[in-house]
Amino acid sequence: MSTARDDLIAQVMAAGRAMSTAAVMHHAAVAEHLGLSAVEEKTLELLQRTGPLTAGELARRSGLAPNTTTYLLDRLAQKGFVRRAKHPDDGRKVLVEVNEHHMVGGARFFVEFARQTEQLLAGYTDEQLRTILDFSLRITEINHEATARLAAD
């Protein structure tokens, strides 16, 4: 017999799956407009947030297997979205950085989305925002761990 709390948890989990699907589909649509796969587009977003990374660092942060990451970066470099540069502190390492010239056009796909998201968040109290932030950070870590497990298999 399920309790009201069990039902609420099930509703939150269902909403999370729906949100995840909607986000993946949104990013797939943006990627298609840019001539990229969804993984390529999200890799670029990760590089934009973190700044330049080595291929190994990108593999660790994304949870993708190192050989998958190398192949992915090769495709992005061929398309002109990233470039490789010598690491400023260690000449043996190569950093991958976003070619911002190619990214300018992609920003237009997120302007209205960002505006609506900020408007939505403005309606929550500070306490509610802290709860949303805590949940978001924790579920992101769970996703990273799940991806890493899959990449290790």
- Helix residue spans in 63-125 (DSSP H): 66-78, 100-103, 111-122
The SS3 call for residue 98 is strand
- Cβ-contact 144, 152 below 8 angstroms: no
Token look-up 């300018």 returns 104
Match domain 4-122 to its CATH number in 1.10.1740.10, 1.10.510.10, 1.10.1840.10, 1.10.10.10: 1.10.10.10
Residue type, 59: A
The structure tokens listed for 51 are 């700044």
Going residue by residue through the chain, which has 153 residues, state the pLDDT in tens, using 9 for 90 and above.
Answer: 789 999 999 999 999 999 999 999 999 999 999 899 989 999 999 999 999 999 999 998 888 888 999 999 999 999 999 999 998 888 888 999 999 877 767 788 889 999 999 999 999 999 999 999 999 999 999 998 898 888 787
State how far the Cα of 48 lies from the Cα of 44, in Å rounded to an integer. Answer: 6
Domain residue spans of the chain = 4-122
